[in-house]
Structure 1
Amino acid sequence: MAHSAAKAKLGSPATLLGDNSCLPAALRGLINDPQFSDVTFVVGKERQVVHAHRCILACRCKVFQGMFSKQLQAAKSSQELQVPFVLADMHPEVFLAVMEFLYTNSVTLNNVIALEVLTSAVEYGLDDLRKLCVEFISKTLTVELACEALQAAVTYGQSDLRKKCLSYIERHTVEVIKTQSFRELSDLGLQSVLQSNRLTIDEVPLIQAVREWAHVSSVVLDLPISVVAMDVVRELRLFLLSPDELTALERENRKDELIPESQIAQAWKFHALKKVSEIQPHLFHRRKGTIVREHHRYLETPSK
């Protein structure tokens, strides 16, 4: 009873906050500081040594917590705990950006490292860092980086970044298709571009860009052009082409067999019957940048 009365007299405890900037500022000074550090990493081809503190990394990241726990369980002596972790595939600047986030909950990014930091954020399960990377990349997209960012978004399932990249590519399609990063897209990445109705380009130069992409991919993957482009060319809208353009396409196609003959035959069938197929109606849809041809009046699917 006396204890309860004393507790009631003291009142409810309160948590009081000091200056929020003090702790991150103090922790920032610990980044890569060898004094008091108890774990080291050897990072990148440069084999740069980065010093860190197990307790901070473990409480901020479950991946590091698992790494340290396994090392502790396997260690037979205290000396074995001093063996550095080797991160040969990561650039030191990228790793230090991850460290900055873990110590301060903030990160300094630029266009050179942002995509790699995003990759590391996904791999280390750092969702807040992932969001910061997506925000930065979305706001700083350029013609040269748009497809590279899209590829990262597709590879790591980042739907929010994927939408931002596609929106940028839709507005700058003519410039983007000329970039090296466009030619280096995966088939899934390119398919996501070709599925858009809002590309600001006509189908003829778009098909030529896909042909150039296929030639590059064929060399890189050491596979026939028809194989590497098998799924991609299904998204080409041949029904938008005029008879003269289809004839020119067939002539070009004999050189590399980019597009299956059956797919071209379907386009000729449309010109003969003037009838839109209900199986793949989106392939009859004009894109935002499509130049209008005389036969396009037949493209609309009849209303039921």
Structure 2
Amino acid sequence: MASACSAVLEGDAAAFAAAIRGLINNPQFSDVTFVVGRERQEVFAHRCILTCRCQAFQGMLSRPQSESQLPQAPVVLSHVQPEVFLAVMEFLYTNSVTLNSRIALEVLTSAVEYGLDELRKLCVMFLKGALSTEMVCEVLQAAVTYRQWDLQEHCLAFVEENTQEVVRTQSFHELSAVALVAVLRSDRLAIDELDLIRAVQEWAHVSSAVLELPVAEVAAEPVRELRLPLLAPCELAALESLNQRDLLIPVEFIAEAWKCHALRKGSGAPARLCQRRRGTQPREHHSYLE
């Protein structure tokens, strides 16, 4: 007897995708409702699609139902914007997502929260291509928060090329201390050290006001990365005088910088603090720091 043959034959993929896309936020045959955001917008979904696509929704929607039960109460998600949640729904239904610069970071947050690794990768890809001077620090902060190392390195490279412009943005002043330290450790910042110190001073005062903590406390880690030995004696003296107002920089750090000048070599401070950055303007004493 002849053996049976088999094959997988595919129909019109575009028609199938369009049909599935038509189910997004469609109340017809929906068996779960979300109440989303401060606007309390209703979003309709289908339990079988969500639970087979996302383990987080499996846990959220695992309560069994029967015909005798009353309809399940809506699931309230007040912490997410409706537009962001609908983007997540689009991905779950279609394996694609429509992003823009306004929502991409929040969609990334949701992707991490719901364990949607493929959506996370799509968000990272979009954000890399959409970086701008105004948003790079916000993206960097998200990358640091969610440990997206590749995105963090991409943001740092952008900051290195556009440092002067980036440090003037509002989002720079909203960086966490951890994210700012990641920036300050770079040798490739295109900014002079004196200008960078002033930018960090401004950041510290904004953070102090927001966190309601002393300036010196909020800036404790970032100031360790300031390369004070690169300053000329007159600049260091002016900084020391200004520093007496809020003690932003510990006096021992300034003393280390003076020691470099006194000894005419870089042994008065850690070696990394004597390393010129790409944008460091030359001073006469730099020759004996190295």
TM-score by length of 2: 0.96
Per-residue CA deviation, residues 88-123 of structure 1 (Å, 9 max, x unaligned), is 010000000000000001111111000000000011
C-alpha distance 285-77 of structure 1, shift in aligned 2 (>3 A): farther
Are 2:121 and 1:131 equivalent residues in the alignment? yes
Q: Distance in 2 between matches of 1:132 and 1:108?
A: 10
| Residue pairs, 1:214-293, within 5 angstroms | 214-277=204-267, 280-293=270-283
Aligned residue number for residue 19 of structure 2? 26
Number of matched pairs:
290
Q: Which amino acid aligns with 2:57?
A: F
| Aligned-partner SS, 1:134 | helix
Question: Cα distance, 1:25 vs. partner?
Answer: 1.6
Percent identical across equivalent pairs? 63
C-alpha distance 238-15 of structure 1, shift in aligned 2 (>3 A): same
Q: Which amino acid aligns with 1:72?
A: P
Question: Cα distance, 1:256 vs. partner?
Answer: 1.2
C-alpha distance 77-145 of structure 1, shift in aligned 2 (>3 A): farther
Match of 1:184 among 174, 182, 190: 174
Answer whether contact 2:229 2:269 (CA < 8 A) is retained.
Answer: no
Match of 2:187 among 190, 197, 212: 197
Q: Which amino acid aligns with 2:69?
A: S
Aligned residue number for residue 49 of structure 1? 42
Are 2:56 and 1:66 equivalent residues in the alignment? no
- TM superposition outliers: structure 1 runs of 4+ over 4 Å: none
Question: Cα distance, 1:72 vs. partner?
Answer: 3.0
Q: Distance in 1 between matches of 2:119 and 2:32?
A: 22
Answer whether contact 1:24 1:105 (CA < 8 A) is retained.
Answer: no
Q: Distance in 2 between matches of 1:280 and 1:63?
A: 47
Per-residue CA deviation, residues 140-161 of structure 1 (Å, 9 max, x unaligned), is 1111100000000000000111
Question: Cα distance, 1:282 vs. partner?
Answer: 1.5
Question: Cα distance, 1:279 vs. partner?
Answer: 7.4
Q: Distance in 2 between matches of 1:266 and 1:106?
A: 55
Structure 1 unpaired stretches of 5+: 1-5
Question: Cα distance, 1:77 vs. partner?
Answer: 6.2
Aligned residue number for residue 3 of structure 1? none
Q: Distance in 1 between matches of 2:72 and 2:233?
A: 72
Per-residue CA deviation, residues 209-240 of structure 1 (Å, 9 max, x unaligned), is 10011101111111110100001100000011
Question: Cα distance, 1:76 vs. partner?
Answer: 12
Q: Which amino acid aligns with 1:289?
A: G
Aligned residue number for residue 78 of structure 1? 69
| Aligned-partner SS, 1:10 | coil
Per-residue CA deviation, residues 9-40 of structure 1 (Å, 9 max, x unaligned), is 114x3222233333322111000000000000
| Aligned-partner SS, 2:278 | coil
Q: Which amino acid aligns with 1:39?
A: V
| Aligned-partner SS, 1:255 | coil
TM-score by length of 1: 0.92
Answer whether contact 2:257 2:269 (CA < 8 A) is retained.
Answer: no
| Residue pairs, 1:105-116, within 5 angstroms | 105-116=95-106
Q: Distance in 2 between matches of 1:274 and 1:66?
A: 65
C-alpha distance 264-82 of structure 1, shift in aligned 2 (>3 A): same
Q: Distance in 2 between matches of 1:186 and 1:72?
A: 43
Question: Cα distance, 1:278 vs. partner?
Answer: 9.2
Question: Cα distance, 1:281 vs. partner?
Answer: 1.7
